[in-house]
């Protein structure tokens, strides 16, 4: 993977400094809270401190491994050794303080953030087989958790109890972590797309929305289902069917070469036609991988084009303030000809 990265560097750059945890992990397959990866045209070194050095020396195969003792001496020395004059650095995942420190450390070397993220994200967006397999494993755990949680949804159960049930089941059944703070909301709370679980008890006639995921090998899953409790109104059914149809339409057009903004528009136009356009106020989806939100974004403003190997969520929603909301979210892998839905859980409206 380091070869791929080097081959994408602009002529003006001699190397890249990779500091962020997820990008370090992506290129070295090594997980550590601290370390830096220096990738240059003439050689690459992964530096990590005494806590990790033994494991790193045993497992990191993509480049040399060196114990991080005094960065202020080691990094300039390595840059001299590899003839680095212009070094690229990350932008979104690097703090202003970190960038300033590296610039002070590397006097005489131009440290630029221009274009770095774009190169790295272009690589990260196209998932390798083991990355897709990890996401699928995480997704299967999440689905089992949902199956389990549906069995305990009834009048009187609180949103927090439901969220904890999902989390506990995922962690007990192979998830190394949950993907993000689980959303389990009910009734009028479902009109908030990212509502926080409260002590509110589930009531008859409520919609219950659950948005959650598991992490396996560092890779995240993400899914949302909305279910009804006891009974549903005609309006609830109408909104649910509209969201579902919008999602199916979008999934149907996904394939390599489709503009991300067109995928978003596909769902948005349908929801507009049904009269709920003002209630779909977030983008259609996002990439998923080592981070829960990655490129590409399926949004109206996105200028990206889908490529085979992308993993994206497709999650339209309609949220009517003070009343209720519905979101249905699947993850899909893009292929040359279509997409493969990684989410196997049913989307028929369940009335529990």
State the virtual CA torsion across 277, 293, 152, 193 in degrees, nearest 10: -30
Give me the least distance between CB of 264 and Mn ion, in Å please: 14
**Least distance (Å) from Mn ion to the CB of residue 33?**
26
- Of residues 219, 150, 162, 167, the one with CA closest to residue 189: 162
Nearer to Mn ion, 15 or 213 (CB): 213
- Provide the minimum distance between the beta carbon of 281 and Mn ion in the complex, in angstroms, as a whole number: 15
Q: Given the complex with Mn ion, which of 106 and 334 has the nearer CB atom?
A: 334
Contact footprint for Mn ion (CB under 5 A): 222, 313
Reading the block at residue 272, the tokens are 């507009």
Helix (H) or strand (E) segment spanning residue 130: helix 129-150
For residues 14 and 222, which CB has a smaller minimum distance to Mn ion in the complex? 222
Distance of CA 54 to the CA centre of its chain: 30
Judging by beta carbons within 10 Å of its beta carbon (0-12, 13-18, 19+), is residue 321 exposed, middle or buried?
Answer: exposed
* Smaller CB separation from Mn ion, 116 or 313: 313
Minimum distance, C-beta of residue 269 to Mn ion, in the bound complex (Å): 21
Q: Which is nearer to Mn ion, 18 or 318 (CB)?
A: 318
208, 166 contact by CB (below 8 A): no
CA angle, 105 then 37 then 286, to 5°: 115
Of 143 and 222, nearer to Mn ion (C-beta) is 222
Q: How far apart are CA 347 and CA 147, in angstroms?
A: 13
Q: How far is the CB of 224 from Mn ion (least distance, A)?
A: 7
Q: Which of 79, 70, 142, 136 is nearest to 110 (CA)?
A: 79
Q: Least separation, in Å, of the C-beta of 287 and Mn ion?
A: 10
């Amino acid at each position: 993977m380091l070869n791929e990265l080097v081959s994408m560097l602009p002529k003006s750059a001699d190397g890249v400094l990779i500091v962020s945890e997820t990008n370090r992990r992506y290129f070295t397959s090594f997980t550590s809270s601290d370390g830096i990866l220096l990738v240059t045209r003439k050689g690459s070194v992964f530096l990590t401190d005494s806590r990790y050095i033994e494991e790193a020396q045993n497992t990191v195969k993509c480049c040399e491994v060196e114990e991080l003792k005094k960065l202020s001496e080691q990094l300039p020395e390595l840059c001299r050794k590899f003839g680095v004059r212009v070094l690229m650095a990350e932008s979104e995942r690097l703090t202003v303080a970190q960038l300033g420190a590296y610039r002070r450390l590397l006097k005489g070397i131009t440290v630029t953030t221009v274009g770095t993220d774009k190169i790295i994200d272009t690589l990260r967006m196209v998932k390798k087989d083991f990355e897709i397999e990890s996401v699928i494993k995480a997704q299967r755990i999440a689905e089992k958790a949902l199956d389990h949680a549906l069995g305990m949804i009834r009048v009187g159960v609180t949103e927090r109890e439901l969220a904890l049930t999902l989390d506990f089941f995922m962690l007990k059944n192979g998830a190394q972590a949950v993907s993000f703070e689980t959303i389990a909301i009910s009734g009028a709370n479902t009109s908030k797309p990212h509502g926080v679980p409260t002590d509110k008890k589930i009531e008859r006639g409520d919609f219950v929305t659950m948005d959650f995921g598991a992490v396996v090998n560092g890779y995240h899953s993400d899914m949302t289902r909305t279910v009804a409790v006891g009974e549903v109104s005609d309006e609830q059914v109408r909104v649910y069917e509209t969201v579902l149809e919008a999602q199916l339409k979008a999934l149907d057009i996904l394939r390599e070469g489709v503009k991300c903004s067109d995928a978003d528009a596909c769902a948005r136009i349908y929801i507009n036609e049904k009269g709920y356009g003002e209630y779909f106020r977030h983008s259609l989806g996002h990439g998923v991988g080592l981070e829960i939100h990655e490129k590409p974004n399926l949004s109206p403003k996105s200028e990206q084009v889908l490529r085979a190997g992308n993993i994206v969520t497709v999650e339209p929603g309609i949220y009517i303030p003070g009343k209720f909301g519905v979101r249905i979210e699947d993850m899909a892998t893009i292929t040359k000809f279509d997409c493969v839905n990684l989410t196997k859980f049913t989307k028929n409206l369940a009335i529990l």
